[in-house]
Structure 1
Amino acid sequence: MNDKKKKESGWAKAKNSILRFAFHKRAISKAIAALMLVLPSKEKEKAGTVINKIRSFNGPFSIPSGKEYRQLLLKLYFARVYYAAEYKEYFMYGLDKVSDPDKLEYVCWFELKDYLKKLNELGRPEIFRNKEKTYEVFRGFFRRELLYVSSEQLRDEFLSFFQRHSSGIIKPSERYGGEGIEIYNLSDGISPEQIWEEVSVKIPFVLEELIEQAPEMSVFYPQAINTIRYNTFYHDGKLTRLQAALRIGRGGSHVDNATSGGIYAPVDVQTGRITGPARSDNNEMFEEHPDTGVHFEGSFIPRWNELNALLEKVVCVVPEQMQVGWDFALSKDGWVMVEGNTMPAIQGFDLDHGMRKLFIETFGTVVPMWH
């Protein structure tokens, strides 16, 4: 690394340390925050990226220009520094319409990420970051076969899998958000050998038995396995159900992740009732599913009590991992685990009210949080 890069790297680390300290202590003033905006920063996204984010939320023809654009850009940068907000959170939470005290009730992503990292340092995140390890530890909750393909020497095991199952789903071993997922069905006329030739270049990956989704869950959208994202906090033997959301595919997609085009709707953790419209990652609103026409708000997730009972068991398997974003699917035989995430996003779960109080009562009992 040359001297210039070392200098830039050193400045970035120092600046980030100052910002983290200042934010968590609330010692930073708005004047100081504004000053930080004009100083060099590798983290500051380019104006073109910001423009694309504005376009994705507000539509292609509503981007302000000239003075209004510069003012909006400054507000975005300011929200990043002072409120630790991602650019999309500025629009998602409507921060331009929220008073300063109410803005601080939102735990935005860059603040939340710090807390999650600190909690992970006390836990066992490595179990969840590798799908093979996750399966080994939580095998009884998966209730389906999974093969971790780490080398070409596992070709025979791969082919044997398709002797037992007529279909399978391929997932990259350490990627999330639905990225890289492929589904293969022998009924499409492809042979196991042909599948191997196609996917062996993607080693390592996970080959997983397809979940047969319960009919009552397929009504939302039948072409993907719709899942429940359930964020929990478990400490000293007490489980706190932080948030839940139904994640649904759309538009012919086989995945439900919002980052891959899916949509999500908030779910009441006690009753399983969907409490609002669904949203996309671009902040589109859907009162009804765009493909199936199912109305979201007021609908209930089937067999919700069974999922809550399962949750009581699954959080005890690795109690050191205090916070997890669990993904569950409803199969024809009941709820099954899909995966667990140690850096789960909370954006979009409660857009009308900040969740700082809830996080202080949970995360704040273990790691310092700004009150």
Structure 2
Amino acid sequence: MNILTENYLVKNLRAYPLLRKKFMSYIKGLNQFPEGFTKNKLFHDYLKVRRHNPEKRVSQSEYMIFGFCNLSEKEQKKYLTDVEATRLMRPYNSESEPYLKSKETFLKNFTRFIHRGWLYVPDASYEEFCEFVHKYHTVALKPQYSSWGIGFLRLTEEELRENENPREFYEKMCSGKYLAEEFVESCDELAVFHPSSLNTLRVITFRCGERFEVFGCGLRVGNNGLHVDNAHGGGIFCEMDPANGEIITDGLDECSNSYVTHPMTGVKFKGTKIPHWKEIVELCREASMELPCLRVVGWDVAILSDGRLELIEGNHNPGMNIVQAPAKHGVHDKFASMLLDYYGEPEQYKKALQS
């Protein structure tokens, strides 16, 4: 094997055309370039950041939302990328992946925290699927293993009835391993930001035995009339204070555009207090105790229109963007330190599990 093929610089040179194409496509979403930067200057600075931080595998979005173009290398090291976070969590969280990655398995294991109706379409007949849609009138359709809102569909009873070939649509949902869920709506306090989407709270927690702590949290709301609140689907996110549930930053989207108020509704982000915050934290604490393997989890929680709390899903490798980017403070050292404090060194932790 030629050692040059494993050289990081050579790999970057070979990836240059694709990286450039992806970067230029990504920055089309920017409302305003950072002062002193053009498209080309941003791209070449992004390449420099990747070259100087090979272990971070910085994505285009992370480069922009963290503001790396204006940070020194020392300051860049303070941020935790998705790749780094996954690498750090893997020794402790691998056991929880089967229970959280599969949406169907998650719903089966956390039934006492879930009130919405749901149906795994491949396990249902065509008639049962139609009955489910009829019962709830509007349903959310999600691929079993999807994330970032990819593949999400909203289906009404009328739309299914007017479909030229509803059975073919059902078969497509079966082959795509879709879940059908009752389409639920946010409480007034959260719906006011963007009524078309279910706006949710991301709560990242640590748990070891009876010890429990909220590492960080944030609010995610939809945008542009879409039904998803995920940033990858065009949504806006902001950071909250874990102590009292108050929003402490302006909103931010995946393209690093900042919003004092929601661009569609004009509702201000910073300073808003999320209702039922103590109950939300308690729900996450109880959910984290549900299975022995749950350690670091990113819980997605909704407050429904009738005031009930609803657990939407749990993430075994939660991204840390929501607790870094809006306030522009990196959590790399804090996160790594808490992992060691709660669980010890990875090798020691593995030995403890085996003993």
TM normalised by structure 1 equals 0.81
The match for 2:323 among 320, 334, 349 is: 349
1:358 matched to 2:313? The reply is no
Report the Cα distance in structure 2 between the residues aligned to 1:311 and 1:69, rounded to whole angstroms.
40
Matched, 1:276 2:249: yes
Query: What residue in structure 2 maps to residue 285 of structure 1?
Result: 258
- Deviation, 1:194, is 5.9
Cα pair 1:118 1:367 within 8 Å, conserved? no
CA, structure 1 residues 292+110, in 2 after alignment: closer, same or farther (shift >3 Å)? same
| 3-state SS of 2:311 partner | strand
Aligned counterpart for 1:115 among listed residues 85, 88, 108: 88
Residue 73 of structure 2: which of 100, 113, 121 is its match? 100
Secondary structure at the residue paired with 2:252?
strand
> Is contact 2:300–2:311 with CA below 8 Å preserved after alignment?
yes
Q: Distance in 2 between matches of 1:69 and 1:163?
A: 51
Match of 2:117 in 1: 145
AA of the residue aligned to 1:126 = P
TM-score by length of 2: 0.84
Name stretches of at least 5 consecutive residues in structure 1 with no aligned partner. 1-6, 16-34
Which has the higher mean CA deviation after the structures are superposed, 89-98 or 285-294?
A: 89-98
Deviates more, 1:155-164 or 1:305-314: 155-164
Question: Which range moves more in the overlay, 232-241 or 153-162?
Answer: 153-162
5 Å-filtered alignment, 1:222-237, equals 222-237=195-210
| Residue in structure 2 matched with residue 327 of structure 1 by the alignment | 300
Q: CA offset at residue 79 of structure 1? A: 4.1
**Secondary structure class of the residue paired with 1:150:** helix
Amino acid at match of 1:135: L
Shift of 1:11: 7.8
Of stretches 188-197 and 253-262 in structure 1, the one that deviates more from structure 2 is: 188-197
Shift of the 167–97 alpha-carbon distance from structure 1 to 2, 3 Å rule, reads closer
The 1:287–1:159 alpha-carbon spacing in structure 2 relative to 1, beyond 3 Å, is same
> By how many angstroms is 1:149 displaced?
1.5
Residue 12 of structure 2 is aligned to residue 37 of structure 1? no
Q: Would the alpha carbon gap of residues 11 and 126 (structure 1) be closer, same or farther in structure 2, given more than 3 Å must change? A: farther
Structure 1 position 215 matched with structure 2 position 188: yes
Q: Provide closer, same or farther for how the CA distance between residues 202 and 305 of structure 1 changes in structure 2, counting only shifts above 3 A.
A: same
Change (3 A) 1:252 1:72: same
Determine what percentage of the aligned residue pairs are the same residue: 24
Distance 1:46 1:192 in 2: 40
Where does residue 135 of structure 2 map in the other structure?
164
Residue 136 of structure 1 deviates from its aligned partner by: 0.6
Letter in 1 for 2:88: Y
Contact 1:226 1:249 survives alignment (8 Å): yes
Q: Does 1:337 align with 2:308?
A: no
Q: Mean Cα displacement is larger for which, 342-351 or 79-88?
A: 79-88
Q: Is the 8 A contact 2:52 2:73 kept in 1?
A: no
Q: Aligned equivalents of 2:291 and 2:13: distance in 1?
A: 39
**Aligned residue for 1:252?**
225
Matching of residue 63 in structure 1 with residue 34 in structure 2: no
Residue 158 of structure 1 deviates from its aligned partner by: 1.4
Q: Is the 8 A contact 1:287 1:295 kept in 2?
A: yes
SS of equivalent residue, structure 1 residue 52: helix
Residues in 2 aligned to 1:267 and 1:51: alpha-carbon distance in whole angstroms = 32
- Count how many residue pairs are aligned between Structure 1 and Structure 2: 337
Give the conservation status (yes or no) of the 8 Å contact 1:54–1:63: no
**Larger deviation, residues 215-224 vs 154-163:** 154-163
The one-letter code of the counterpart of 1:343 is N
CA contact (8 A) 1:329 1:335 kept: yes
- Which amino acid is 1:186 matched to? E
Does the residue aligned with 1:299 lie in a helix, a strand or coil?
A: coil
8 Å contact 1:227–1:256 — kept in the other structure? yes
Correspondence for 1:238 among 211, 217, 238: 211
Aligned-pair Cα RMSD in Å: 2.9
**Cα pair 2:122 2:173 within 8 Å, conserved:** no
Deviation readout 1:222-269 (Å, 9 max, x if unpaired): 111111111112123211211111111111111111101111111111
2:323 alignment partner AA: F
**Change in CA separation of 1:54 and 1:225 when aligned onto 2, cut-off 3 Å:** closer
1:181 aligns with 2:152: yes
Gaps of 5+ in 2: 347-355
Amino acid at match of 1:146: W
Q: Give the distance between the partners of 1:157 and 1:189, measured in 2 at CA.
A: 13
C-alpha distance in 2 between matches for 1:312 and 1:158:
34
Partner SS, residue 120 of structure 2? strand
Q: Is the 8 A contact 1:124 1:320 kept in 2?
A: yes
Distance 1:258-1:73 versus aligned 2 partners, 3 A rule = closer
Change (3 A) 1:72 1:209: same
Q: Displacement of 1:38 after TM fit?
A: 3.7
